[in-house]
Amino acid sequence: MNDAMIYPIVKFGNPVLEKPAEPVTAFDDGLKKLVDDMFESMYEAHGVGLAAPQIGISRRIAVIDITFKEDPSAKLVLINPEIIHSEGRHIQTEGCLSIPEFRENVARAMKVTVRAQDVEGRFFEKTGEELLARALQHETDHLNGKLYISRISALKRDLMKRKIRKLMKAGEW
C-alpha cells in the first residue's frame, strides 16, 4: 500500500467524535481505499482499532487488528456494525487514539457478537471475547458518538477533562 494516505487522528474536543456517524450505503472503490487508508493510519498511530470519525469522517466504518500486524487474518473491517449480543462483565484499562496519554479502567461486556457488513456489503457476524470484545465495543461506541470516558465515573471524567483543557490552553493537545 505505497499510495496509502495517512490521516491525522482527531482528538477529544472535536465535535465529530461525539455525534452519531452516517450509515454507509455505497460499497465502491472509494470505500475500499478509505478502509486501506484507515488501517495504515491506525498502524501509523500505533493503535489496534480506528473508527472513521477519528479521522474526521462521520461514517459508520471501523477497522480493528488486535494483533497489530502479527496475524493478517485478524484484520477486521466493520461497516455499519451493530452489537447484537453481549454477555458477562470485564474490567480492564482502556485507551483511545483520540485521547492520547490517558488510560482508565472501563467495564465492558466480556463477550459480544457484532453484525456488520464487509467492504463488498456482505453481512457477517463476529463474536469476540476479552480484548477483541473490548475493541468491538469501543469502535461501535465511536460510531454512535460515544467515547470510553462516558463509561467511567463522573469524578474521573471531570478530572480527565480538566487535564485536557489545561493541555489545550498550553497548545499541547
Catalytic residues: 139
What string marks each residue from 120 to 139 as x (binds Zn ion by CB under 5 A) or -? Answer: --------------------
Q: Nearer to Zn ion by C-beta: 8 or 123? A: 8
Lookup: cell for 120: 463488498
Stretch that binds Zn ion, among 21-29, 68-76, 90-98, 121-129 (CB under 5 A): 90-98
Query: Per rule CB under 5 A, is residue 52 in the interface with Zn ion?
Result: no
Strands (DSSP E) contained in 56-131 are: 61-64, 76-87, 90-94, 104-108, 111-117, 123-129
Q: Nearer to Zn ion by C-beta: 31 or 62? A: 62
Tell the smallest beta-carbon distance from residue 122 to Zn ion (Å).
Answer: 26
Q: Which of 76, 79, 96, 133 binds Zn ion (CB under 5 A)?
A: 96
Stretch that binds Zn ion, among 3-11, 63-71, 74-82, 89-97 (CB under 5 A): 89-97
User: In this structure, are residues 96 and 110 in contact, taking their beta carbons and an 8 Å threshold?
Assistant: no
The CA distance from 40 to 13, in Å, is: 24
The CA distance from 40 to 101, in Å, is: 21
Tell the smallest beta-carbon distance from residue 1 to Zn ion (Å).
Answer: 22
C-alpha pair distances (Å), 77 with each of 34, 36, 120, 173:
11, 10, 11, 29
Tell the smallest beta-carbon distance from residue 139 to Zn ion (Å).
Answer: 7
Length of the chain: 173
| Residue ranges in contact with Zn ion by CB under 5 A | 96
